[in-house]
Amino acid sequence: MKKNILTIVISVLLSGLVAYGVGKSSNSEITSMLENPAAGDVYRTVNLAQTEYPDFTYAAESAVDAVVFVKVTVKTQTQQYIDPFFRFFFGDQGPQTQEREQKGSGSGVIIRPDGYIVTNNHVVENATKVEITLNNNQTYEAKVIGTDPATDVALVKIEAEGLPTIEFADSDKLRLGEWVLAIGSPLGEELRSTITAGIVSAKGRSMPNYDGKFKIESFIQTDAAVNPGNSGGALVNKAGQLVGINTAIVSTTGSYTGYSFAVPSNIVRKIVEDLIDFGSVKRVMLGVSIGQVTEEKMKDLKLSSLKGVYINEVTKGGSADKAGLRKDDVIISLDGQETNSVPALQEKVNGYHPGDVAKARIIRNGEEKTVDITFLGVDEQNGSVAPDGSVAFYGSYLASPSKETLQRLGIKSGVEIVSVGSGKLMDAGASEGFIIQYVNDQPVSRPEDVVEIARKSKRAVFVEGVTAYGKSSYFGFGKE
């Protein structure tokens, strides 16, 4: 009778563990415990079950002190028009400019003990004053070291030493379904140092309506609750390491509805290292127009799967062109990391510096091969000479026009845009065949003239000339 009662008690305990779904023991291990129902065995089984609950205490406690509250002041100018009634008596004085101060807030992450803090560009953009409040309530005025609108990353610094920091993790190693914590100050200072949990819902995600200069869209998507004010805060793994910077939400209400996005830590680390070491981001250009592999493309290019990114066009003289890549090549990996989507390739390329060499695995005519790519920088590329003699200029290429072209257009000299690639000329609306006659009101007759005048310009470049069809036209772009 005693044995039966004992069996019933242990069976009830076991059924409780199974119902909660937290036991890690196998069926054979559980059977062994039942056959030897010592008190110690039951106690150890309960402790084992408790460890299976997600425990974020270490990650939260080790990371929370390195997440700060960011308060910004932005001055805006508005025009105030005088009421017609007052104009009748006091005369028409026109619109009056009025300066206003606006307050905003966000979050930031301390990445070095000497006061370097990473946040979002949109948090500190146009700010005239930036204040940082630590988790211990100390407040400092911060200086903006640099920003990168393309990735929405910014770096600020406070004068302090011995600050708590968060260690960078390798965001490439994140796995779908992995637990992560979002730490920040949602909805203002009152909810400072709020911690929420979720999982990695997707990687390499593009966001609807995201507008960036280079459109580097390779976000980590999570379901950790993030609201306005979390921007610039930390996304950490269970080890308390930084895997991303919380940046945005997708919502029809303006508040969290289940979708939050973070810039991967590998991108963030590269950006802030450049800002610290060089004062600006040293970005490279692959020099290709790319697209996702479709079923139609898979058949046309004799591919065995939909994996990879195919090349629509190769910019003459660019990194890909010099490496021997061609139209309709399919890039399946860079330095051993698979590039199965456009965002994945963009993220990987963004991690390189000018002069870096990467091994690209490609498929050409149904066969795999490896190609070494030496990356050219966006700025360093200006003035470099391609094998055909054309000169690189902000992602495009210039050359001296032929005599026939000059005669056809009825002009004596100029510089022809022979190809237009991603960069400032393309953004300004330049087209192939355009003949540049003047740059900043100075006549040009050689590609080197264009490069030199633009180099000396402090703020902007203004170009005048004629289109390939002989119509006078002009365009301009800022250097910053």
Spatial CA neighbour of 451 closest among 443, 466, 439, 433: 439
Q: Which superfamily does 391-478 belong to?
A: PDZ domain (2.30.42.10)
Judge whether residue 31 has pLDDT over 80: no
152 is catalytic: yes
The catalytic residue among 148, 152, 274, 329 is 152
CATH fold match for the domains 284-377 and 391-478 = yes
The catalytic residue among 122, 172, 251, 431 is 122
pLDDT band, very low/low/confident/very high, at 407 (cuts 50, 70, 90): very high
Spell out where 365-454 has E strands. 367-374, 376-377, 391-393, 396-399, 415-419, 435-439, 442-443
User: DSSP readout, 313-329?
Assistant: EE-TTSHHHHHT--TT-
Q: Average the pLDDT over 405-430 and give the result.
A: 87
Percent pLDDT > 70 in the chain is 79
Q: Report, in angstroms and rounded to the nearest whole number, the Rg of the chain calculated over CA atoms.
A: 29
Q: Average the pLDDT over 464-477 and give the result.
A: 93
**Half-sphere exposure (Cβ direction) of 287: Cα atoms closer than 13 Å:** 29
Instruction: Collect all residues with Cβ–Cβ distance below 8 Å to 373 and sequence separation of at least 6.
Output: 286, 319, 320, 323, 325, 334, 357, 358, 359, 360
The catalytic residue among 105, 231, 260, 341 is 231
pLDDT tens digits, residue range 323-359?
999 999 999 999 998 998 888 888 888 888 888 999 9
Quickly count: other Cβ atoms within 10 Å of residue 280's Cβ.
Answer: 13
231 is catalytic: yes
Instruction: Record the tokens describing residue 166, joined without a space.
Output: 């968060």
Per-range mean pLDDT, top range of 61-70, 290-299, 456-465: 61-70
| pTM, full prediction | 0.65
Place of tokens 């008596």: 89
Q: In this structure, which CATH number among 1.20.58.1610, 2.30.42.10, 1.10.10.10, 3.40.50.10490 belongs to the domain 284-377? A: 2.30.42.10
Instruction: Record the tokens describing residue 175, joined without a space.
Output: 């796995």
pLDDT tens digits, residue range 162-220?
999 999 999 989 999 999 999 999 988 888 999 999 999 999 887 655 444 345 668 99
The answer to whether 425 touches 396, Cβ cutoff 8 Å, is yes
Q: Domain coordinates of the chain in residue numbers?
A: 2-53, 56-281, 284-377, 391-478
CATH architecture observed for domain 56-281: Beta Barrel (2.40)
Judge whether residue 426 has pLDDT over 60: yes
Instruction: Record the tokens describing residue 88, joined without a space.
Output: 């009748």
